[in-house]
DNA sequence: AGCAGTGCTTTGAACGATCAAATTGATCGA
DNA sequence: TCGATCAATTTGATCGTTCAAAGCACTGCT
């Protein structure tokens, strides 16, 4: 910076102003300084800025144990977030933790070591200790996931699971399906119940019964296959399966295939999350708009971190409920067939 | 830090010494300072240390486009790396790039903004511009992946793919298989050829022919399934398939299942990478020891970053070729059957 | 007594940036 | 002509830490 100042015959502060408050500098001077900056490739050192301003431009995000919180989705989210953050001059810092308490301890460490600007949390659930801890410490954060059942609210971004499953179910109904089953998770999962509700809503709106068409199982391929088999062997077998996840849907897909039936022609199957496995076997799936999620997260953080967002006034609280979209593949009717 | 110094009635420098060079401080004094540190929970600010020492304790790693370089594996690697780095007081910083040139530009940005300690590269290939660029800039780095065909060497860690496939093939031979096929990638992939070589070695050692038992295809489930079908329909069908990846293996698994055959009983299938999909369907697979890889990466970096590793003397160059291990599931003979 | 050596601790400067306040030079109305 | 106002720029202090050099007791040797 001293070099730039000398070359442009101005003081250090003027160089700083050209970068951080260009309106304070006369156009002529500014251009001269900018030319030198461009010529030398000067970029301010984050460490020095951080020391002075208490801003690191770092955002910490957890990287979960592989296999937890559906690794592939989190991975895609991390990617989208990293890309989007980069565009706003932020960077993503990783950390690990096996449970919420360890995660809180990780927050504490990160905050005292690095001078973090914010956190992005994933996998929120009811009575989430993490959000209350962060709120108490007045640390800016956004969650990917609604504050399920929690009273205190905070900026969040989420994907409307109910809307996704409703769309999936309506897609099947439009193609003539009348006996549509739902393969869901056990009770107690906020996300799971939300997705189930979408299926119910669509069925009820079309006057289709849901009784006896709901199976609850762990997020496991084998259990999905088994549940699918059970329903297919029942007195009144469904012609379509809407599933709470791709894992479960792939189980159903496997069972259908193993019976010599063709998914999409004989029995329809729809999953959730649009995993690579779904794409590989041609499974129709509800895709989360992760780029939009990442975008909304950073917009919320920008608002939180920009001056004016003091702890006193919490202006427009950012909440974004985004709509997923259906990726139609061979395991469900193609849109053209919607002639019924 | 000033608070600690005052409470312990010592100077700032002594507090610093207690933390960074305890041997310089008298035991009595040290204990007094340590007590105050413990009581106040003081931790030095990274930003200030970085400014002074030019060390950020930050390691940058790419997070690839989802679907590239087999996302799930990279994700698991990132997790292992994050955990291991945390243990050594380092943190992982993410960045994205779509190709090598953009990646190099990202290096440049990261280096001038943050004061990075090192990079960890993945997916090395022959004539890799990234490694030469980093070497030229004298930036410390380790690669997960051998410097395929490159003359200049640098610290690297890799998994012995040939050893993995050899082990897989020997496992099948020990169980009595004599007609073992290999589903591999097209020529030109260093990793692919390495894995193929393992299968060849095992076959040759056992006097089994490999001619006509090799299929080359893209890393795609459908192509894996197709190649499997072609071989099964040939005049001399194989009884077992060793595959270059889980994706391909799952294709073969699907084809076997669709024919009403039972994987592991009628036809054996073995994949590579031990993905969650493999675990879900019970596919035997070669697992990369990612914890060990992460460990070796950090050991190498520690050596690179510790004093004494000046650019002049490059003491013991770190290279680690780690052995993967076979995770035996239902799609291949169980070890007990090894009675033949 | 004087001087070098050793062990422990303190002092002053520096890392690279920004903030707050001071300075300079115009412009302008009274 | 003089002070007031305003825009553009500079000066001095500061963020929290570590480095380099110095200071201060002792000890031991001559």
Are A120 and A293 contacting, i.e. CB atoms less than 8 angstroms apart?
A: no
With CA atoms as reference, the chain B residue closest to A84 would be B96
Of A203-212, A219-228, B142-151, minimum mean pLDDT range: B142-151
Q: Which nucleotide C1' is nearest A13 CA?
A: D10
Predicted pLDDT at A149: 82
* Interchain contact, B78 vs A94, CB within 8 Å: yes
For A65, phi and psi rounded to 5 degrees? -50, 135
Q: Give Dmax over CA atoms of chain B in angstroms.
A: 88
Q: Which pair of structure tokens corresponds to residue A74?
A: 């989190």
* Interchain contact, B95 vs A91, CB within 8 Å: yes
* Cα A292 to Cα A77: distance, rounded to the nearest angstrom: 10
Between A and B, how many CB-CB pairs are < 8 A?
A: 128
Rounded, the Å distance between the CA of B10 and C1' of D28 is: 29
Helix (H) or strand (E) segment spanning residue B58: strand B58-62
* Interchain contact, A92 vs B91, CB within 8 Å: no
Buried b (16+ CB within 10 A) or exposed e, A180-203: bbbbbbeeebebbbbbbebbbbbb
* Cα A190 to Cα A146: distance, rounded to the nearest angstrom: 9
* Cα B259 to Cα B238: distance, rounded to the nearest angstrom: 15
CA–CA distance from A91 to each of A84, A97, A174 (Å)?
9, 20, 45
Are A309 and A301 contacting, i.e. CB atoms less than 8 angstroms apart?
A: no
* Interchain contact, B45 vs A113, CB within 8 Å: yes
Pairing verdict, β B118-122 and B240-243:
unpaired
Predicted pLDDT at A70: 75
Q: What percent of chain A has pLDDT over 70?
A: 94
Are A218 and A206 contacting, i.e. CB atoms less than 8 angstroms apart?
A: no
Residue with tokens 């994205």: B96
Mean confidence (pLDDT) of chain A: 92
* Interchain contact, B41 vs A112, CB within 8 Å: yes
Are B318 and B142 contacting, i.e. CB atoms less than 8 angstroms apart?
A: yes
Predicted pLDDT at A307: 65
CA neighbor of B294 nearest in space, from B74, B139, B47: B74
Mean pLDDT of the A139-156 span:
88
DSSP A8-36: TTS-HHHHHHHHH-GGGS-HHHHHHHHHH
Which nucleotides of strand C lie under 7 Å from a protein CB? 7-12, 14-21
* Cα B88 to Cα B149: distance, rounded to the nearest angstrom: 32
pLDDT digits (tens, 9 = 90+) for A269-288: 999 999 988 998 899 999 99
* Chain A residues inside the 8 Å CB shell of B247: 280
- How close does chain B come to A322, measured CA to CA in Å? 21
Are A340 and A172 contacting, i.e. CB atoms less than 8 angstroms apart?
A: no
Ordered per-residue pLDDT tens for chain B, 340 residues: 999 999 999 999 999 999 999 999 999 999 999 999 999 999 999 999 999 999 999 999 999 998 765 788 999 999 999 999 999 999 999 999 999 999 999 999 999 999 999 999 999 998 899 999 999 999 999 999 999 887 668 999 999 999 999 999 999 999 999 999 999 999 999 999 999 999 999 999 999 999 899 999 999 999 999 999 999 999 999 999 999 999 999 999 999 988 889 999 999 999 999 998 899 889 999 999 999 999 999 999 999 998 654 444 454 567 899 999 999 999 998 876 444 4
Are B119 and B130 contacting, i.e. CB atoms less than 8 angstroms apart?
A: no
Q: Please give, one letter per residue, the 3-state secondary structure of A228-296.
A: HHHHHCCCCCCCEEEECCHHHHHHHHHHHHHCCCCECCCEEEEEECCCHHHHHHCCEEEECCHHHHHHH
Predicted pLDDT at A69: 58
What lies within 8 Å, CB to CB, of A309 at 6+ separation is A303, A315
pTM over 0.85: yes
Are B285 and B272 contacting, i.e. CB atoms less than 8 angstroms apart?
A: yes
Q: Which nucleotide C1' is nearest A26 CA?
A: D8
Are B283 and A74 contacting, i.e. CB atoms less than 8 angstroms apart?
A: no
Burial class (CB in 10 A: 0-12, 13-18, 19+), B152: exposed
Rounded, the Å distance between the CA of A21 and C1' of D4 is: 27
User: Sign of the CA dihedral B37, B41, B47, B48?
Assistant: negative
pLDDT at A6 over 50: yes
* Cα A76 to Cα A98: distance, rounded to the nearest angstrom: 20
With CA atoms as reference, the chain B residue closest to A262 would be B258
pLDDT at A309 over 50: no
- How close does chain B come to A129, measured CA to CA in Å? 22
The terminus-to-terminus CA distance of chain A in angstroms comes to: 70
* Chain A residues inside the 8 Å CB shell of B222: 280
Of A23-32, A256-265, B220-229, B315-324, minimum mean pLDDT range: B315-324
Task: Show residues, CB within 7 A, near nucleic chain C.
Answer: A 1-2, 12-13, 15-16, 19-20, 43-45, 48-49, 51-53; B 9-14, 17, 24-26, 28-30, 48, 51-52
Angle between helices B71-87 and B290-305 (to 10 degrees): 50
* Chain A residues inside the 8 Å CB shell of B115: 45-47
Which nucleotides of strand D lie under 7 Å from a protein CB? 7-12, 14-21
Rounded, the Å distance between the CA of B52 and C1' of C9 is: 21
* Cα B140 to Cα B136: distance, rounded to the nearest angstrom: 10
Are A255 and A225 contacting, i.e. CB atoms less than 8 angstroms apart?
A: yes
Rounded, the Å distance between the CA of A41 and C1' of D9 is: 24
Sorting pLDDT into bands at 50, 70 and 90, what band is A336?
low
Of B66, B258, B277, which has the smallest distance from its Cβ to A257's Cβ? Answer: B258
- How close does chain B come to A202, measured CA to CA in Å? 31
Predicted pLDDT at B68: 66
Rounded, the Å distance between the CA of B26 and C1' of D25 is: 14
Predicted pLDDT at B151: 64
Q: Which nucleotide C1' is nearest B1 CA?
A: D16
* Chain A residues inside the 8 Å CB shell of B79: 63-66, 96
* Chain B residues inside the 8 Å CB shell of A115: 45-47
The CA-based angle B330-A242-A267, given to 5 degrees, is 75
With CA atoms as reference, the chain A residue closest to B66 would be A76
Q: What percent of chain A has pLDDT over 90?
A: 86
* Chain B residues inside the 8 Å CB shell of A258: 257-258
pLDDT digits (tens, 9 = 90+) for A84-128: 999 999 999 999 999 999 999 999 999 999 999 999 999 999 889
Burial class (CB in 10 A: 0-12, 13-18, 19+), A322: middle
Rounded, the Å distance between the CA of A228 and C1' of D6 is: 78
* Interchain contact, A51 vs B51, CB within 8 Å: yes
- How close does chain B come to A17, measured CA to CA in Å? 18
DSSP B145-165: S--TT-SS---EEEE-HHHHH
Rounded, the Å distance between the CA of A33 and C1' of D1 is: 39
The terminus-to-terminus CA distance of chain B in angstroms comes to: 70
pLDDT digits (tens, 9 = 90+) for B59-93: 999 999 987 657 889 999 999 999 999 999 999 99
Helix (H) or strand (E) segment spanning residue A157: strand A156-159
Residue B152 or residue A331, greater confidence: A331
- How close does chain B come to A203, measured CA to CA in Å? 31
With CA atoms as reference, the chain A residue closest to B77 would be A66
For D15, nearest residue by CA–C1' is A52
* Cα B146 to Cα B122: distance, rounded to the nearest angstrom: 9
**Total residue count of chain A as it appears in this document:** 340
Of B65, B72, B114, which has the smallest distance from its Cβ to A72's Cβ? Answer: B72
């Amino acid at each position: 910076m001293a070099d730039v100042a000398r070359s442009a015959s101005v003081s250090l502060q003027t160089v700083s102003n050209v970068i951080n408050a260009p309106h304070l500098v006369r156009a002529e001077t500014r251009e001269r300084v900018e030319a030198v900056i461009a010529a030398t490739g000067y970029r301010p050192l984050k460490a020095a800025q951080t020391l002075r301003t208490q801003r690191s431009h770092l955002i910490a995000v957890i990287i979960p144990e592989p296999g937890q919180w559906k690794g592939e989705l989190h991975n895609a989210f991390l990617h989208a977030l990293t890309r989007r953050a980069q565009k706003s001059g932020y960077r993503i810092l990783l950390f690990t933790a096996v449970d919420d308490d360890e995660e809180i301890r990780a927050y504490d460490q990160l905050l005292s070591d690095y001078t973090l600007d914010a956190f992005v949390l994933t996998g929120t659930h009811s009575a989430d200790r993490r959000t209350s801890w962060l709120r108490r410490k007045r640390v800016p954060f956004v969650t990917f996931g609604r504050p399920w059942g929690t009273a205190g609210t905070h900026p969040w971004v989420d994907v409307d699971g109910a809307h996704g499953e409703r769309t999936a179910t309506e897609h099947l109904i439009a193609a003539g399906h009348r006996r549509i089953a739902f393969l869901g998770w056990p009770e107690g999962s906020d996300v799971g119940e939300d997705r189930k509700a979408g299926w119910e809503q669509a069925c009820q709106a079309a006057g289709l019964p849901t009784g006896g068409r709901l199976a609850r199982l762990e997020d496991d391929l084998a259990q999905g296959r088994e549940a699918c088999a059970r329903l297919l062997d029942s007195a009144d077998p469904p012609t379509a399966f809407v599933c709470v996840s791709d894992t479960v849907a792939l189980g159903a897909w496997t069972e259908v295939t193993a019976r010599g039936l063709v998914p999409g022609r004989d029995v329809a199957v729809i999953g959730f999350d649009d995993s690579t496995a779904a794409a590989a076997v041609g499974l129709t799936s509800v895709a989360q708009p992760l780029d939009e999620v990442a975008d909304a997260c950073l917009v919320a953080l920008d608002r939180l971190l920009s001056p004016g967002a003091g702890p006193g006034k919490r202006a427009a609280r950012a909440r974004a409920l985004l709509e997923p979209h259906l990726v139609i593949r061979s395991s469900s009717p193609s849109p053209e067939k919607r002639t019924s």
